[in-house]
Structure formats: structure tokens, C-alpha cells
Amino acid sequence: MATSLGVNPNTVAAAYRTLRERGVIETDGRRGSRVRAKPATTGRDFIRVEVPEGVRDASTGNPDTALLPPLAPAFAWAAAQGDREPVLYGHAPVEPGLAALAGADLGADGVPAAPMAVASGSLDAIERVLAAHLRPGDVVAVEDPGWGSLLDLVPALGLRTLPVGLDDEGPLPQDVRRALEAGARALIVTDRAQNPTGAAVSAPRARALRAVLGEHPHTLLVEDDHGHGIVDQPLHPLAGVTRHWAFVRSAAKAYGPDLRFAVLTGDDVTLDRVSGRQRLGPGWVSRITQRAVLRLWTDGAVDPRAVALAYGSRRDALIAALAARGVRAHGRSGMNVWVPVPDETGAVARLLQAGWAVAPGARFRIESPPGIRITVSTLAQDEIDALADAVADAVRVGGVRGCV
């Protein structure tokens, strides 16, 4: 290209580097580079369904607002503490009481005792951890299907994704081993309420994954526990099996996405790098917000069992109704149900015509087969059968319902 354009090869190399760092292209060593279907910074939000008036929206992935606690009392209390003891430059970035409570909860769930940081949500925390250890061109093993925002974040950082398959019990050990042997430097795992499939890492699966990771101790392991507070599945963490690791627990699903809050723990080197870089940017997450979250936690503003029961009953009812109609679906935990379909675009369109909006699986897939994601968080029991009928009709192909 340099010869064809009559420019210095370094200029071409710099152009490629800029395109890669901006997520416009993906490079794959000697196999060359390819242009992404969409720049990573554009995001997968363009793959969405416009919901016409009168159509029931089950596509958003949002929690049920009726299950979210009121925030005003907690913030009023936190602001009052700030009036009496303002947080100024040089103060500790993490509220001491919050660190103690979060550390105790994480320890009770089997996460090793380690330093603590606070980030503006789980995606912010994951980005900081990846940036602390990886460089453009490095490979990150990710769940497929997986969280669309994460699948966009990785290439936006100039990194390459390597898909790992999963079932209801989490990432498949053989796929993880294959990815690590192929050169993946990091692995990101969703412990519970995996988006979009609802997978939850079981105890046997955790043992198998720890064995694989034990063979690759230099892997950067990142765990996302955004389902904390809304699931009835126990946590089986992988943290500590590799030299560098991070465990992220956010408050979005249980307490409200607008909190933009997550606690982050990990090995000393990772947390030192993350905290040091944070000091050079936002500095810290508002201590008023931290105190408000602490108040919500200590006051028991959310009953995790009741929330998990509410989501679980809706999820299980839909899966059972679909099974009765010959349609297989997945949803072991959380607020989403994943339905494999033979024709994703057609299924989404037919459901829209039937009065239901669901999320296209393309928002969550790399190489995995087509599917649709249905958010059950606001479904009423008397809507389940109607939705199941619509889904069964939408996935029918040639008179046979599309079961995978």
C-alpha cells in the first residue's frame, strides 16, 4: 500500500494502528486485517427493534421498576453526611463502611480478600481492568452469545475478541481451553444472570473452569456478577486461580441503572493500576453515591429473595409455556430468556406483527447460532400464554416449530 500510494511505510502502519485503536478494523497477525461490519464505537444499539405504539416491549433488558427501591431517602441521608463531613481532594476514594460491607459480602460468597475500588458501573470497571493489563491487538476470550456492550467495548479498546461457547452452566471448559491455547490473554465470565442466556456458573462447572485456568496462570480473569441481588443461584467464583484477576459486582439490576455504581476487587497489581489510572481521570466515584448505596444495602432496601422469586417465576413460566408448545428456551437465572430460532430476522418481524417486541440475537452474537432475547422483568402472568403462542408461531418453519 505504501508503494501504491507513494508514502512512507510508517505512515501506512500508523494509519492501520489508528483504525485498529478506533475499532474500525480488526487485525489477526499474518492473516491480515478486515474491516468491521460497524465501527466498535458505533455500538450494537443500531441492531434494535423500533417499538410501534401498542406493541408490548420485551426487548429492553431493563429491571422491573416496581421492584427498584426509592433512592431519595438514601441520597438525602448521604448528602447530610456530606454536609457534616465534606469529601475533599486527598480523601480516600472508597467509603470505608462501604468497603467493609462489600468485602464481607464478597468474602461470604467465596471471593478472596483483596483491595477494593469503586467504578461507574460494571462496564466502566471491566474497561479499566482490561486497559490496566492489555495492549491493542491482544485477544480477549468472551462468551458467545454475550453482553452486546462488552462485545463492542473489547474492539473499541483495540483488542480482539475470541468467542467461547456456553450452556446453562456457564462457559464451556473445552472452549475456554481452546481460546487460551490460541493465545487469549484475558477471559471474561458472567457468574450469574448471563446476558442474554440466563446462564449461571454451577459448582461442577466452576471446578472445571478453575482447572483449565490453573493450566494458564498468567490469564487475566475478569468476573461480572451484575446479577447479585436479583438471582436465587449461589455464586461459584473463579477469582484467585490466576495471577491477575478482578471481580465486579454492580448495583444496576437490583437498585437501578442510574446509580452507575459497581464495586471492584482483585489482585494487588490490578487494583493498584486501576486505582492509579482512575486518580488521573475522574479521581473517584462520588462519595455521596457511595454512601447512598451503603445506606440502601444496610437498610435492606431490596429483598433479594423476593426479587429473585418475582423474576424467576416469570422466567420459569415462560420457559414452561414455550416447552409445552415445542419450543426450547434458556433462562437459568436473571430476567432474560434466550430462544434459539432458525430465522432470527423473520422471528423478530413476525413477533412485531403479533404485538410483541423482542431483542434480535445479532446484538449478542459473534459466531453462535441465531436467537432472540425476551426480557421477562415486567411480564404479567396472564401475558405468558399469549407471548408463548406468538413465539411458537414466529419460529415455525415449514409447519415445524423451530427447536434447537
Q: Please, where are the H alpha helices in 92-181?
A: 96-108, 122-133, 148-156, 173-181
CA 159 to chain centroid, in Å, comes to: 17
Cα distances (Å, whole numbers) of residue 58 to 95, 252, 379, 397: 37, 18, 8, 23
**84 and 157 share one domain:** yes
pLDDT of 310 reads 97
327 and 401 Cβ atoms separated by less than 8 Å: yes
Q: Please, where are the H alpha helices in 285-380?
A: 287-299, 304-324, 344-353
User: Cα separation of 162 and 176, whole Å?
Assistant: 10
Strand 220-224, strand 186-190: pairing = parallel
pLDDT digits (tens, 9 = 90+) for 86-140: 999 999 999 999 999 999 999 999 999 999 999 999 999 999 999 999 999 999 9
**333 and 313 share one domain:** yes
30 and 346 Cβ atoms separated by less than 8 Å: no
pLDDT of 15 reads 81
**270 and 336 share one domain:** no
Residue 45 lies in a domain: no
pLDDT of 24 reads 72
**φ and ψ at residue 187, rounded to 5 degrees:** -135, 130
pLDDT of 299 reads 94
pLDDT of 139 reads 97
**279 and 339 share one domain:** no
Rounded to the nearest 10°, the torsion over CA 270, 272, 275, 280 is -110
Residue 267 lies in a domain: yes
pLDDT of 8 reads 80
**275 and 349 share one domain:** no
User: Cα separation of 110 and 44, whole Å?
Assistant: 34
Which residue in this structure is represented by grid cell 483491595? Answer: 115
Q: How many residues does the chain have?
A: 404
DSSP, residue by residue, 136-196 = TT-EEEEESS--HHHHHHHHHTT-EEEEE-EETTEE-HHHHHHHHHTT--EEEEE-SS-TT
User: Cα separation of 239 and 262, whole Å?
Assistant: 17
pLDDT in tens, the chain (404 residues): 888 888 787 777 778 766 765 567 766 655 677 776 555 555 666 566 788 889 999 999 999 999 999 999 999 999 999 888 899 999 999 999 999 999 999 999 999 999 999 999 999 999 999 999 999 999 999 999 999 999 999 999 999 999 999 999 999 999 999 999 999 999 999 999 999 999 999 999 999 999 999 999 999 999 999 999 999 999 999 999 999 999 999 999 999 999 999 999 999 999 999 999 999 999 999 999 999 999 999 999 999 999 999 999 999 999 999 999 999 999 999 999 999 999 999 999 999 999 999 999 999 999 999 999 999 999 999 999 999 999 999 998 534 444 43
**160 and 273 share one domain:** yes
Residue 237 lies in a domain: yes
Q: Which of 381, 395, 373 is nearest to 57 (CA)?
A: 373
**197 and 95 share one domain:** yes
Residue 324 lies in a domain: yes
**237 and 158 share one domain:** yes
Residue 97 lies in a domain: yes
Domain with 12, as residue range(s), is 2-36
pLDDT of 401 reads 47
Residue 44 lies in a domain: no
All three cell numbers of 368: 453462535
Mean pLDDT of the chain: 92
**227 and 338 share one domain:** no
Residue 41 lies in a domain: no
User: Cα separation of 333 and 312, whole Å?
Assistant: 7
pLDDT of 51 reads 84
Among the candidates 275, 299, 323, a domain finishes at: 299
**222 and 367 share one domain:** no
Number of domains comprising the chain: 3
**239 and 338 share one domain:** no
Among the candidates 299, 333, 359, a domain finishes at: 299
Among the candidates 266, 283, 299, a domain finishes at: 299
Residue 43 lies in a domain: no
What CATH number has the domain bearing residue 115?
3.40.640.10
DSSP, residue by residue, 48-105 = -----TT-EE--S-PPPGGGSPP-HHHHHHHHHHHHHS---TTS-SS-HHHHHHHHHH
193 Ramachandran zone, left/alpha/beta (phi>0; psi -120 to 50): left
All three cell numbers of 153: 467495548
**139 and 276 share one domain:** yes
